[in-house]
Amino acid sequence: MPELTWTTFVSKHLTAHLVAAIVPVNRGPVAPSHLQELRQLMGKLIDRFKLSGDFAVKVARDTHVPALYICPEIHIAFERRHDADRLAAGVQARRASEYAGWASQRQFLLDPLAALDIAAALVEAGAWDDQPGEGISKRA
């Protein structure tokens, strides 16, 4: 299924399933370009799955986890639970409860090591035409 815009997705699917990638913050804000690289990385990973329903991806810059820190997140919403379950299993996401309004919700830490693991798996699978950008390993 093709990716929908976030607004279109949430208006079309009142009960959907969320997988949230938490981008850890070290000492300062995360560069917008790095967040876009991570969003593209997650998009390439999602493309590897043969989804049975709609999905949408957005960067959420002002979220919390843990509560003492402000961490940007990449939210991936799925129409069908099966699709969300497959991604959640692939990135070892755990159940969460802090996102209101979702039929199911999981989250995982998308730190530099996790990003490199995902990129390496995509390269191995032939899903990345060139080597992943150095920005994935050096920023965050």
59 domain-assigned: yes
Q: Which domain holds residue 51?
A: 6-128
| pTM for the full predicted model | 0.84
11 domain-assigned: yes
120 domain-assigned: yes
1 domain-assigned: no
DSSP state of 72: E
State residue 127's pLDDT score.
Answer: 67
**Look-up: residue for tokens 């959907």?**
16
- CA distance readout (Å), 17 to 64, 78, 84, 102, 108: 19, 5, 6, 6, 14
Number of domains in the chain: 1
- Which amino acid, residue 89? A
Q: What is the length of the chain?
A: 140
Q: What is the pLDDT along the chain (140 residues), one digit of tens a residue?
A: 779 999 999 999 999 999 999 998 876 667 788 899 999 999 999 998 889 999 999 998 765 555 445 789 999 999 999 999 999 999 999 999 889 999 999 999 999 999 999 999 999 887 666 554 444 544 43
